[in-house]
Copies of this chain bind each other. A is one copy, B any other.
Amino acid sequence: MSDELLRALDQAGVRLTGPRREIAALIAKRNGHFTAADLIADASKRRLGVGRATIFRLLDLLAEQGLVERVDLPDGRHAYVPCEPSHHHHLVCVACGAIAEVEDCGIDAVTSEASRRSGFTIESHRLELFGRCPNCRSAN
């Protein structure tokens, strides 16, 4: 579960400490997105005794490694989603919070068209898709 996260941290050359293992386990246990507040609540519920700062620090680290990504939900809150380090986009279920990743699927055409029209050089982009996952749609 959390092994991938830990392995990646190890490869990044940082120490594998107790708190990091515990937080990684909490992240692995969640599926879909979560907020920093969720993790903090989880940690305090289980009396892990890890501080808020440590959680934010680990999230930063994971984000640097591309193992976790920040997404901005439509309501303006932000969440983190565990994911593969390759470039991709997220599909977020607005009902249950499930996440799907989609690899590049034609966005380059969009960016180059936008670039052509505006004269801008495009360096990066952010695409987030919001909708309903198959389960939530059929449950309706």
Residues of A within 8 A of B (CB): 70, 72, 74, 76, 89, 91, 93-94, 100, 102, 105-107, 109-111, 113-115, 117-134, 137
* Cross-chain contact A122 with B113 (CB below 8 angstroms): no
Closest CB-CB distance, A81 to chain B, in whole Å? 14
Q: Which chain B positions have C-beta within 8 A of A115?
A: 131
Q: Take A125-B127, A126-B72, A126-B127 as given contacts and tell me if A132 and B113 are in contact as well, using a CB distance cutoff of 8 Å.
A: no
30 A/B residue pairs, CB under 8 Å, sorted by A: A70-B76, A72-B72, A74-B124, A89-B114, A91-B114, A91-B118, A93-B120, A94-B123, A100-B120, A102-B117, A105-B110, A105-B113, A105-B114, A105-B117, A106-B109, A109-B109, A110-B110, A110-B127, A114-B129, A118-B133, A119-B133, A119-B134, A120-B131, A120-B133, A120-B134, A121-B137, A122-B129, A125-B129, A126-B130, A127-B128
